[in-house]
Amino acid sequence: MTGVSQPGDVALPYADQLRQQSATCRLLAEKQRENTAVFEGFAERGLPGSAEMAERSERSARFLVQLASVIAEQALAHDEFMAAGGPDNSRAYVEYEATTRRLRALLPTDTLTD
């Protein structure tokens, strides 16, 4: 199964794991946009609740795109951190921590529960 580690698998480097997660979020956002179109079609045919589901599906897609962007930026920040010497370079570590805090603030806050 894709995306599931198996015994004997070699773990991907952290930044590569982040890139994989970002790509997965983008694929899920694509699927949500497809769902949005389906719900919009149902709404045009008068199926009750479909317009609300289309709106929720679109919100979910936006959430996933935003999440994918933040995760991708974290991967780049980690690459820069490691290129600058990683944990052995205290200045690089401080900058990486600051970038991580800024990126955390950009994470989506929509709970998608209403």
User: In this structure, what DSSP letter does residue 27 have?
Assistant: H
Residue with the larger pLDDT of the pair 7 and 61 = 61
Read off the pTM: 0.86
Map out the domains of the chain as residue ranges: 14-106
pLDDT at 109 over 80: yes
Measuring CA to CA, which residue among 112, 27, 107 is closest to residue 70? 107
| Confidence band for 111, pLDDT divided at 50, 70 and 90 | confident
Residue 47: closest CA among 37, 55, 39, 57: 39
